[in-house]
Amino acid sequence: MLIDAGLAIKTHRPDVDEDAIMNEALSRGLTLEDALIAIATAKAMTVPEDGTPKIVIAGDSNLRFDGEVMGKPLNREDVFSRWTRLSGNSGELITAHVLRLLPEELIATGVENSRVDFAEVSEDEIRAYAQTAEPLMAAGSFTLEGLGSAFVSKIEGSASNVQGLSLPLLRLLTRELGIEWISLWQQTN
């Protein structure tokens, strides 16, 4: 998505215990949004400062559905159980974004919420989807850019947020850091 938005990127896989950070944050009485910012901040801080100018972009998402917070599912049975409930209903996908400007060590944070309406999905469709690896890797047990896209009937808010990062919010956060989004575009001919 970031490449399609014109950015040159280098990926870094953070070694962060998301569950421990979430549990600790919620036990301290923080909101889900603040807990997600704590996780995204921890991810952003895993990139070492080496004197090279860069913007570290980190995020974390969860689906809030019927008062429950749905991170990544535990297993295929969990996917099946969740989708039995999600079918024909709506949830709120919440994504925390953290930008870390290096070497200056400036931080900008924000949260984007998108309402996701799920299609009526048959038990056979749910069972087949649960047997794929895709929902096991995603908050709320679905993705918008893969097999699960056919099961999302409507999005209110940022569609890119549902894919993992809200590009409109990232543009605003880069501006908070004193950087214009368009200055990050790479030339394509």
> Does residue 187 belong to any structural domain of this protein?
no
Q: Within a domain: residue 3?
A: no
Q: How far is CA 183 from CA 8, 96, 122, 179, in A?
A: 12, 23, 46, 7
In a domain, 111, yes or no: yes
User: Which CATH number is 98's domain given?
Assistant: 3.90.950.10
Structural domains of the chain, count: 1
The burial of 129, by beta-carbon neighbours within 10 Å (0-12 exposed, 13-18 middle, 19 or more buried), is given as buried
> What is residue 59's predicted lDDT score, i.e. its pLDDT?
95
Q: Determine, yes or no, domain membership for 2.
A: no
User: Which range of residues forms the domain containing residue 113?
Assistant: 18-179
Q: Are strands 90-102 and 54-65 parallel, antiparallel or unpaired?
A: antiparallel
Would you state the pLDDT for residue 2? 87
Q: Profile the chain (189 residues) by mean pLDDT over runs of 10 residues.
A: 85 92 94 96 95 94 92 93 96 96 96 96 96 92 91 94 90 95 77
For residue 171, what pLDDT is reported? 95
Query: Does the active-site annotation cover 4?
Result: no
- Identify the active-site residue in 19, 60, 66, 117: 60
170 part of a folded domain: yes
pLDDT score, position 105: 94
**10 found inside a domain:** no
Residue 13 forms part of a structural domain: no
Q: What is the pLDDT of residue 189?
A: 44
